[in-house]
Amino acid sequence: LTGAIVSDQPDPISADEVQRRLRRAAEIASSLGFIGQVEYRHVYSQSGGAQYGIGPSADDDLLVVYSQAFDRDANTEDFDLDAMIAHEVGHQRLLRNAKLRILLEKFPGETFEEALASLVGSVLLPETKSAEMLVWKAAAELTNLRLSGEAIVDFVERMRSLLRKLL
Ligand SMILES: [Zn+2]
């Protein structure tokens, strides 16, 4: 997801607020089936609101949620925390679930990986606005491949129904 402007820095927050943010992020992640460690860092990251890191085993995997995830969550026009975390959990599933890994091998490349992470996230979430945002994000990603609008809608629909069976 998009990074912050370089000169930006987050306003300070209390230790309680840091704990509250961590708890909220960890609750969302575990409700979506994330395995591993969740951290909250009160910094603006160049890598966006949240980031998944793969470890030697799933238990060692790391999900870091950054300050701007909460700024974006507060903006009703922007991605909410559920959508941002679901996208990162989608990355974990793609790499940790053998059946999903086959999908990644079938559709190599960063664009497909990003689109698939959003689609996995959209299926993990209940049918909410957050899920809709991720479907929209996946479709936006796929326009980079110069596919027609029709081909994108078709791919997204097929992939979501396949993922519903695989997840
Ligand atoms: Zn991603």
Cα of 116 from ligand 1 centre, angstroms: 9
Classify the phi-psi angles of 151: left when phi > 0, otherwise alpha if psi is within -120 to 50, otherwise beta. Answer: alpha
**Spatial distance between the Cα atoms of 145 and 40, rounded to a whole number of angstroms:** 34
Return the pLDDT at 5.
Answer: 55
Q: How far is the CA of 110 from the centre of ligand 1 (A)?
A: 9
Give the three-class secondary structure for 114: helix
CA of 133 to the centre of ligand 1 (A): 14
How much distance in Å is there from the Cα of 88 to the middle of ligand 1? 6
CB-based contact 65:40 (threshold 8 Å): yes
Q: What is the pLDDT along the chain (167 residues), one digit of tens a residue?
A: 455 555 678 999 999 999 999 999 999 999 999 999 999 999 998 888 999 999 999 999 999 999 999 999 999 999 999 999 999 999 999 999 999 999 999 998 999 999 999 999 999 999 999 999 999 999 999 999 988 999 999 999 999 999 999 99
Neighbours of 92 (CB within 10 A): 25
Res 96: pLDDT: 97
Kindly report the backbone phi and psi dihedral angles of residue 112, in degrees, each rounded to the nearest multiple of 5, phi listed first. -65, -40
Non-local (6+) Cβ contacts of 45 within 8 A are 3, 4, 51, 64, 66, 67, 68
Cα of 81 to ligand 1 centre, how many Å? 14
Ligand 1 centroid–CA 15 distance in Å is: 29
- Model pTM greater than 0.85? yes
Going from the Cα of 4 to the center of ligand 1, the distance in angstroms, rounded, reads 16
